[in-house]
Amino acid sequence: MAVLEILTYPDERLKQASQPVGTVDEVLRAFIADLEETMDAGPGGVGIAAPQVGCFERIVIVDCTRTRKPVPNHGRLYLINPEITKWDGMAVGREGCMSVPDYTGNVIRAEAVSLKALDLQGQPLELRCEGFEARAIQHEMDHLDGLLFLDRLVSRRNDLFKRKVYQQSK
Amino acid sequence: MTHWYMLTLVGKDRPGIVAHVSAALFDGGCNLGEASMMRLGGNFTIMLMVQYAGTIKGLDDLLEPVADSLGLHRHIDRIEAELHHHLEPDVRITVYGADRAGIVARITGALAEAGLHILDMETSVAGSAAKPIYIMQIEGHAAEGVEALRSALDVVTQDGIEAQLEFIETLIG
């Protein structure tokens, strides 16, 4: 077990796409344990993606159990080769990133997503996530495609009325 | 030895102000920091952190030609930069209603008493000249919690002023 070094932008490696995991085995699980330890050592992170520690494989961990206000969540999620199969709604929320210290900004994400992935045993799993947890999954999965939340910033001025319309449409 | 300065520029809006000012500063050896630049009414306003190796007088001389040519008033203060220490907002408040004098003082007074530290605030006068409306967007830190702010807002927003307050849960991923 080890806390790994987190790459920070402008490290160009954060902009590269990651490859699918081939085999889920002990070596991979050992890496994921290190990735998890790294996430837990960070300041308040609700997720981490493998490329943030310089491993360019499609692996993310998300855990929305420790938000300041409780949000619906599935506990600690280990997602290998995750794929979003359905996006619903849009919402603006504020994001930051361990790979982009000292900056946060508003980002539009799908309000709910359905996804499939492999679990730690290499078994397929399917999930439906909403709200903050859906946002965290989309943020982490972006890392797998070399995208940062900086690539999706929206003006804070646009926030108010978009959100209100969105709430009324529910 | 370089110093940080806060440069304030205000003048009638026209295209090209930022390009001309920043070119003059770059050519004069300055490095730029954080900035807020915005059209307010028909005026363009710039608040800009500038890192410069000389004195206020030197920076002022450097800016004089471009400011004069663009019709911009200028003001320069020596500051401490304090970069890389952003404070994170945890509450967003929006207020709107028919425009009248006193809205900002009443709302922000009540919020300040309830522990609000404003980090970012923008307001607009919209609607028509005959029926102007006022729109205020605030992001800040709720030192005494969001509920204290909500209670304070409820008291001051009874007569035609609409307010929304929401907790900002910043996702760090």
Mean pLDDT of A113-132: 98
Asked if B164 contacts B110 with a C-beta cutoff of 8 angstroms, the reply is no
Interchain proximity B170–A94, CB inside 8 Å: yes
Whether residue A161 is predicted with pLDDT greater than 50 in this model: the reply is no
Asked if A79 reaches chain B (Cβ–Cβ under 8 Å), the answer is no
Interface ipTM: 0.87
Contacts of A103 in chain B (CB under 8 A): 86
* Euclidean distance between CA atoms B131 and B128, whole angstroms: 5
Q: How far apart are CA B50 and CA B32, in angstroms?
A: 5
Hey, what domains does chain B have and what are their CATH numbers?
3-79 (3.30.70.260), 91-167 (3.30.70.260)
Tell me the C-alpha distance between A60 and A72, whole Å.
19
Selection from B10, B55, B9 nearest residue B28 by Cα: B55
| Band of pLDDT at residue A156, cut at 50, 70 and 90 | low
Cα B1 from chain centroid (whole Å): 29
Q: How many other C-beta atoms lie within 10 A of the C-beta of residue A47?
A: 29
Distances (CA, A) of B82 to B33, B75, B85, B86: 11, 20, 6, 9
The contact set of B with A (CB < 8 A) is: 84-86, 88-90, 92, 94, 120, 122, 137, 139, 164, 167-173
Tell whether A37 is within 8 A of chain B (Cβ). Answer: no
Q: Which two tokens stand for residue A2?
A: 């080890």
CATH code given to domain A12-168:
3.90.45.10
Over residues A88-102, the pLDDT tens digits come to 999 999 999 999 999
pLDDT recorded at residue A170: 37
Would you write out chain B's pLDDT as a tens digit for each of its 173 residues?
A: 899 999 999 999 999 999 999 999 999 999 999 999 999 999 999 999 999 999 999 999 999 999 999 999 999 999 999 999 999 999 999 999 999 999 999 999 999 999 999 999 999 999 999 999 999 999 999 999 999 999 999 988 877 899 999 999 999 99
Label residue B164 exposed, middle or buried (CB < 10 Å: 0-12, 13-18, 19+).
middle
Residue A140 annotated as catalytic? yes
Contact A98 B92 (CB under 8 A): no
What's the pLDDT at A45? 87
